Chains A and B, each alone.
Chain A
Amino acid sequence: MGRGVGSRSGGGAAQPPWHSLPDEVWEHAFSFLPAAADRGAAAGACRGWLRAERRSRRRLAVANCYATSPRDAVERFPSVRAAEVKGKPHFADFGLVPPAWGAEAAPWVAAAADGWPLLEELSFKRMVVTDECLEMIAASFRNFQVLRLVSCEGFSTAGLAAITEGCRNLRELDLQENYIEDCSSHWLSSFPESFTSLETLNFSCLDGEVNFAVLERLVTRCHNLKTLKLNNAIPLDKVASLLRKAPHIVELGTGKFSADYHPDLFAKLEAAFAGCKSLRRLSGAWDAVPDYLSAFYGVCEGLTSLNLSYATVRGPELIKFISRCKNLQQLWVMDLIEDHGLAVVASTCSKLQELRVFPSDPFGAGQVLLTERGLVDVSASCPMLESVLYFCRRMTNEALITIAKNRPNFTCFRLCILEPRTPDYITQQSLDAGFSAIVESCKGLRRLSVSGLLTDLVFKSIGEHADRLEMLSIAFAGNSDLGLHYILSGCKSLKKLEIRDCPFGNKPLLANAAKLETMRSLWMSSCSLTLGACRQLAQKMPRLTVEIMNDPGRACPLDALPDESPVEKLYVYRTIAGPRSDTPDYVQIV
């Protein structure tokens, strides 16, 4: 309908023929570009493409809810059908962000209700979602299909009831690790008897009991149900009953899966699992149930994903189970698996792509026999391994160098040595050499978390070599400002940087202020920053929001404080929306 603007390269030159193509043609062409980055690049080519691209954008991912105002986002992309919005900084997961910080979903839901009536999918991560939000979602989008809430809080089962009652075309209700208040509201019963479209139901994070009879009827009539993740309140025999009603299930979360051994129950479970020929993904908070594990040996060979990160199963039974899972691509376990368990994984799971090993006793002294050996074995034998999260108590440079040599294809490497500043336990040296080997070898590395004893030198390597690195997490590391300077002056692709308890000060921050605008966000806590530098940064870079967090309960106005005042927590992010207006007392925008 519109003509594109003429090419800038020549005032009198004839326009290329495609400039006269109507926008609809471009919109159709752009629909074949799924990746947001590609669409963004296309939109930057000329005004015509900008117009066509924004009108045809169907999926929108807002990685920082404060980077833009909801109204602007909705106005700019009027045809969005699926939106994902993320809120609080990542370190909020570990309790570093006090409550009531912000990241309310309400303004987004309100803007969407006005501007995206055809919205089908909504996903919120680390945001505050209220029951009113859920009620508004249920009331505003007649074709609403997918609701995904990850690490959110602020809502109750009453809000869920509004969704289940009001969203007639709901396909997915996916609740991951949220804090949900249990109002004993019968959200499950609020699905109408005529409702059959459910494909995904995940209520594993819900604490309360659910009406099993209602659940069973729901599962029975939803023939397309592919993903079912139960909570811990569902007893084992009921799990068996549900599986008989939904044998086409692809992903199952079993809940607690705990009961005293009984041969009848065993037989029931074995039969139920034998019928699940499509089961590929399995998870559950298995509570030391060795007696029942063999009941589902039958599904092991088909499994591509196994999440036992909340399971306290250990020892030979766990290993026997895993040794049958030859096709695993994704494995999440606790360190109860120990080195010899990982050795079995290494020799069994040749298709493994992602491994996460969580600590079973993060605050204790630790008797578990998981060391660097386990990771070395898996890296040596699993050629497709590209993503690792590994919590352990000791590490050596030699192990890291070996790992780097064996697996140059890592895209995500997160190592957490539990005790801060732990050196190479054999040489007592820093782990600079080990992590340097990782970044030098793994040219495609996009995410890195470092730990152990580290000097500024490791950051020199990271700055120089980690060209594709997008997210870097640093804690208890470095000696001086140089460390931070190496990172900010290097790391070409850096988007998110989060730092805690490092001796990094004002100078590198100010010297690299421009870098911050090329990044999504920077978090620094318990470092050596002062208020004066933050003021300078804010003044220099008007398109950044510079947030400072004081102790809640000590809401001292910033203007009264001198430049030398230490800054405990700093959160800086780029934004086109200007400073936000919903800050609590303890957050000050400089």
Chain B
Amino acid sequence: MSANSGDSPAVSGLDYDDTALDLTLALPGSDHASRVAAATTERALAVGWPPVRAYRRNALRDGDAGGASCRLVKVAADGAPYLRKVDLAAHGGYAALLRALHAMFAICGADGQEDAGSGIGSGRLVDAATGAEYVPTYEDRDGDWMLVGDVPWRMFVESCKRIRLMKSSEADNLAPRPSSQ
């Protein structure tokens, strides 16, 4: 569905020789090949097609089906010389994520047991060597720094941009969490 460059309206600044006016439903600036590909697949444009339940579609997206989706975010630990990356989509919940963070920064959990019931309210991480306490925090889509563990896991995976293991002395500025029973 591309207009002949000779028919284009007289808008100054556009180089009609290079950029054909492609009337496809794609964002401006995306490259020509992908626009054509998008236009030819009706499936991509039809709402609710193929008929896969929304629930299943969401599960596929989160579940890393065939390696298609992953949610790599940077992890910084105060005092560590370099950053790491962790794939949020590869973990089933907060407990699993904390275990991964332990392994990454050679930091032990505050208590050795996994108590899923209390979420990660007690999830301060302790550096075995120095005894320093760390609090896991993350930056969300709005740019705010939040305490890890407050929102449902899936919501966290969607909104987390990066993680910072904050030294607990600094973390005292964050609002105290209600105690979980």
Contact = CB atoms under 8 A, between A and B. Distances in A.
B50 A362 contact: yes
Interface stretch (B17-25, B113-121, B132-140, B166-174): B113-121
* Most chain A CB neighbours (cut-off 10 Å) among B48, B92, B94, B181: B92
Given A214-B117, A358-B52, A362-B52, A207 B44 contact: no
Contact of B96 (A93, A182, A235, A334): A235
B152 A182 contact: yes
Interface string A180-216: 0010101001000000000000000101111111100
Contact of B117 (A209, A232, A336, A419): A209
Contacts of B60: 310, 360-362
A543 B176 CA distance: 60
A361 B51 contact: no
A363 interface: yes
B43 A420 contact: yes
Nearest to A449: B51
A258 B99 CA distance: 14
B47 A95 contact: yes
Interface string B87-122: 000001111100000000000000000111111000
Contacts of B53: 93-94, 151, 177
A233 interface: yes
Nearest to A176: B55
Q: Which of B47, B59, B65 has the most CB of A within 10 A?
A: B65
A528 B116 CA distance: 54
Nearest to B63: A285
Contacts of B129: none
Interface in A108-160: 151
Interface in B10-59: 41-44, 46-57, 59
B63 A310 contact: yes
B50 A186 contact: no
B51 A258 contact: no
B66 to A, nearest CB: 5
A569 B63 CA distance: 33
A94 B50 CA distance: 8
Contacts of A184: 119, 180
Given A95-B47, A256-B92, A418-B43, A310 B56 contact: yes
A470 interface: no
A95 B65 contact: no
Nearest to B52: A362
Given A94-B51, A210-B117, A391-B50, A361 B66 contact: yes
A475 interface: yes
Given A287-B64, A312-B63, A420 B49 contact: yes
A10 interface: no
Interface in A504-520: none
Interface string B61-73: 0011110100000
Contact of A94 (B49, B65, B118): B49
A359 B52 contact: yes
Nearest to A335: B66
A364 interface: yes
A501 interface: yes
A186 B181 CA distance: 9
Contact of A235 (B51, B52, B57, B92): B92
B84 interface: no
B153 A211 contact: no
Contacts of A210: 116-117
Contacts of A91: 48
B119 A235 contact: no
Nearest to B151: A182
Interface in A425-460: 449
Contacts of B59: 285, 310
A420 B46 contact: yes
A312 B65 contact: yes
B95 A361 contact: no
B153 A207 contact: yes
Given A93-B54, A363-B43, A235 B114 contact: yes
B66 A233 contact: no
B154 to A, nearest CB: 5
A93 B48 CA distance: 8
A287 B47 contact: no
A96 interface: yes
Nearest to A421: B42
A468 B23 CA distance: 46
B98 to A, nearest CB: 12
Interface in A300-337: 309-310, 312, 334, 336
Contacts of B93: 209, 232-233
A285 B60 CA distance: 10
B65 A235 contact: no
Interface in A390-432: 391, 416, 418-421
Contacts of B68: 361, 364
Contacts of B153: 207-209, 233
B42 A287 contact: no
B79 to A, nearest CB: 28
Interface in A352-383: 358-364
A420 to B, nearest CB: 5
A416 B50 contact: yes
A233 B47 CA distance: 31
Which of A94, A182, A235, A419 counts the most B-chain CB atoms under 10 A from its CB?
Answer: A94
Nearest to B180: A184
A93 B58 CA distance: 12
Given A151-B53, A211-B116, A360 B65 contact: yes
Pick the 9 closest A-B CB pairs, nearest first. Answer: A211-B117, A94-B48, A182-B152, A177-B55, A233-B93, A95-B48, A93-B53, A256-B92, A209-B116
18 contacts: A94-B53, A96-B48, A151-B55, A184-B119, A209-B95, A209-B116, A214-B117, A232-B92, A233-B92, A235-B92, A235-B95, A256-B92, A310-B56, A310-B63, A416-B51, A419-B41, A420-B49, A500-B49
Given A235-B96, A419-B43, 10 more contacts: A94-B47, A94-B54, A210-B117, A213-B115, A310-B56, A360-B66, A361-B68, A362-B60, A420-B46, A473-B51
